Structure 1
C-alpha cells in the first residue's frame, strides 16, 4: 500500500468510527486532507524536478527500438517465405512495411529538435538500412517488370506551360527514383507544376528529374522526396514529416518541414522553416534564409503542422561531412540584401 492509499484508508476509518464525536471526526478529516495535499505536492515537485530532455529521449529511444524491431521481424518473416510460392501476393505486406518505415522516419523528424545529434544520426542510419533491406526484399520477391515508354520530342515553348497534377497523371513519365509508386511530378522541362493538398489528404509526394520548372505545392502532406532537379524554383507549404533532397543544382527552394536533409546540392538557395537543424551532406555553395511563402490558408496549415513559430533552426545547419570546430565552407547565411521578397502563390 502506498502513502496515498494509506491516507485514504485512515480517513475512512476515522469517519466511520462510532466512538468519536462529530467534532473530533471533522478535525481528524481536516488533518488527513492536509497530509494528503502535502503528499500530492511532494509527488508533483519530484516529477517536475526530473530532466525533461532525458525523459523524452529515453521515451523516444524505447518507442523507436520497438518499432524498428517490429519492422525487422516483418521483413524476416517475408524473407522466410519459400520460393515455391510464386503466386503469393506480398504487395500488401510490403506496402505496410513501407508505411511503417515512413512513420518511423516521421517519428525521428518530429522529435529531432530535442534529441542529441548522435541519436539523430544513428536513427537516420537505421532507417536508411531498413529501406535498403526493404528494397532488396522487394526486388527478390517481386522482380520489376520491364516497361516501355513513348519517346516524346522535348517541347520548349516560349512561355512555360502550367500543368496541374490531374493533367499530369494522364501522361507517361519515367523516373529511376526509388519511391516509384508515390504521386508526384517526374521528368518534365520548362513547366509550371501545381498541386493543392486539400483537407485530410496526407501522403508522400515526389519531385524527380525536373529542369527549368516552377513547382507550387500548397496545403499539408506528410513527406516530400526531391531528386535530380536543375534550375528549378520550388515553393512548398508545410510538410508534416520530413523532406529529403538529393542531387539538385542551381535551384531555389522555399520549404517548411519538421526535418530537412540535403544531399549533393550545388549552388542552391534554401528558404526554410523547420523544427530541427537542417542537415547537408556532400554539398557546396548552398545558402540559407528564413521561409517566405504566402498563400490563402497558409497560417492554418502552419498551425496544424506545428510549424507556425519560426524557431530559427534554418540558420543552424549541420554539415555531416565537416567535423572541424570552425564554420563549414559548404554553406552560408544568405545576405538580407540578396534575399527574395515574400512569394505569393
Structure 2
C-alpha cells in the first residue's frame, strides 16, 4: 500500500540516525558542489555569465553550510558524551549545550534571507532535533525531586537549609530566533506619512522600512535587498528587488512586492501582491492573503526584465508555510479573491500615486 503525501512529509521530519546521516551527506555535497562551481568560474572568468550577486549568494550559502555542519557535529558530540559526565558537573554541561544550540539557532535566523528553501528547512529541522535530544538528556540525567513524608521539625530544618544554600542557577532560556533587520538606509519611526524613494543612480544596495504606523511607502528602481520590520496599517509598493525581501512583525498591511525571494515571519491580517521567482515562505503567520503583483511606474517593465523578474512565474500563489507540515492546505494563508483585490497602483514621476483599473 502506497504511503500518503502526509506520511512523506512527516517522514522527512523524523529524527532517525539514517536521516541525520543523509542530511549531513547532502549538506557536504552542496559545499563541495559550490566549491567546484567557484573554481570553475575562476578558471573561465572571461566566459562567465553569472552575476556578482550570484557569486556572493553561493559563497554565503557555502559559508553557512560549513559553519552549521561544524557546530552541529560539536553539539551532537557533547550530547552523546552527557551520560559519562560526572553528576556534579552535568547541569553546567547541559547548560553549555543549550547555549550552543541557541547560538546555532541565531546563526540560522541571521542567514535565513540568503538560504535556499531546502537548506533553511533542513537547518531548522536539525536545530529542532538537537533541542529534543537535549531535553531528553536533561530529563534522564538531571536529579529528580524526591517525595517523602517529613515531620514538622525536619521540614523547618530543610527550609532553613534551603534559605542558606544558594539555589542552582536555572538553565538559560532559549529565545525564539529573531530575523535580524540590518542597519541600512531606510525609513524608520514614522506615522501617518507618505514616504517615497527613487533608487535610480543612488548606489543603495539594501534598504529598510522599520517601525512605521499608518504610512504609505513607495520605492522606485532596483535594490539588492529589502528589510521590513514592525509595520502596522501600512501600504508598501516596491519596484524589483534583485535578491531577497525579509518581512518581520507586520500587522494589517498591504504589500506590493517583486523579488527573487520573499520570506515573511510573524505577519497577521496582511495582503501580499507578489511577483516572485521562488515560492514565498511564511512562518508564524495568521490570516495572510496572496495575489499577483499590481504596480506600475515609468520604466518599471525594463527594470523587471533587468532584474530577472520580467515573466510572471505564478509563484505568488505557491506559498510554503514552515509551521504547517500536513499535506492539506495551511489555514494560515489563502489566495485573495479577485473581487477583493486592489486595483493596479501607479506611481508617477512626482512620487504621487493612485490606483488605476487594470488594463489588458
Instruction: Specify the TM-score bucket, using the shorter chain as the normaliser.
Output: 0.5 to 0.7
CA contact (8 A) 1:177 1:227 kept: no
Note if 1:273 corresponds to 2:279. Answer: no
Note the 1:1-345 alignment, pairs <5 A.
59-60=33-34, 63-64=58-59, 66-68=62-64, 108=115, 112=116, 117-122=117-122, 178-179=180-181, 181-199=183-201, 201-345=203-347
Superposed CA deviations along residues 113-170 of structure 1, whole A, max 9, x for unmatched, are xxxx5334247899xxxxxxxxxxxxxxxxxxxxxxxxxxxxxxxxxxxxxxxxxxxx
**Which stretch of structure 1 is more off in the superposition, 254-263 or 193-202?**
193-202
The 2-side partners of 1:230 and 1:264 are apart by 12
The 1-side partners of 2:340 and 2:233 are apart by 18
Whose radius of gyration is greater, 1 or 2?
A: 1
CA contact (8 A) 2:198 2:219 kept: yes
TM-score, normalised to structure 2's length?
A: 0.52
| CA drift at 1:300 | 1.1
CA contact (8 A) 1:177 1:208 kept: no
SS in 2 for 1:119: helix
Alignment match, 1:170:
none
Superposed CA deviations along residues 243-300 of structure 1, whole A, max 9, x for unmatched, are 0101111100000001101111111000000000001111010000000010011011
- Closer, same or farther in 2 for the Cα pair 1:209/1:107, shift >3 Å? closer
The 2-side partners of 1:327 and 1:68 are apart by 31
| CA drift at 1:317 | 0.3
Alignment match, 1:16:
none
- Closer, same or farther in 2 for the Cα pair 1:239/1:71, shift >3 Å? farther
CA contact (8 A) 2:181 2:228 kept: no
TM-score, normalised to structure 1's length?
A: 0.54
CA contact (8 A) 2:199 2:223 kept: yes
- Closer, same or farther in 2 for the Cα pair 1:305/1:124, shift >3 Å? farther
CA contact (8 A) 2:219 2:238 kept: yes
Give every structure 1 segment of 4 or more consecutive aligned residues whose post-TM-superposition deviation is greater than 6 Å: 55-58, 69-72, 123-126
The 2-side partners of 1:205 and 1:107 are apart by 16
CA contact (8 A) 2:190 2:213 kept: yes
The 2-side partners of 1:232 and 1:272 are apart by 16
The 2-side partners of 1:318 and 1:279 are apart by 5
CA contact (8 A) 1:188 1:210 kept: yes
**Which blocks of at least 5 consecutive residues in structure 1 are unaligned?**
1-54, 73-100, 127-175
- Closer, same or farther in 2 for the Cα pair 1:262/1:178, shift >3 Å? closer
- Closer, same or farther in 2 for the Cα pair 1:177/1:331, shift >3 Å? closer
The 2-side partners of 1:322 and 1:119 are apart by 17
- Closer, same or farther in 2 for the Cα pair 1:269/1:209, shift >3 Å? same
Aligned residues: 210
- Closer, same or farther in 2 for the Cα pair 1:66/1:341, shift >3 Å? closer
**Which blocks of at least 5 consecutive residues in structure 2 are unaligned?**
1-28, 37-57, 69-107, 127-177, 348-360
CA RMSD of aligned residues (A): 3.5
CA contact (8 A) 1:238 1:256 kept: yes
| CA drift at 1:337 | 0.8
The 1-side partners of 2:302 and 2:275 are apart by 15
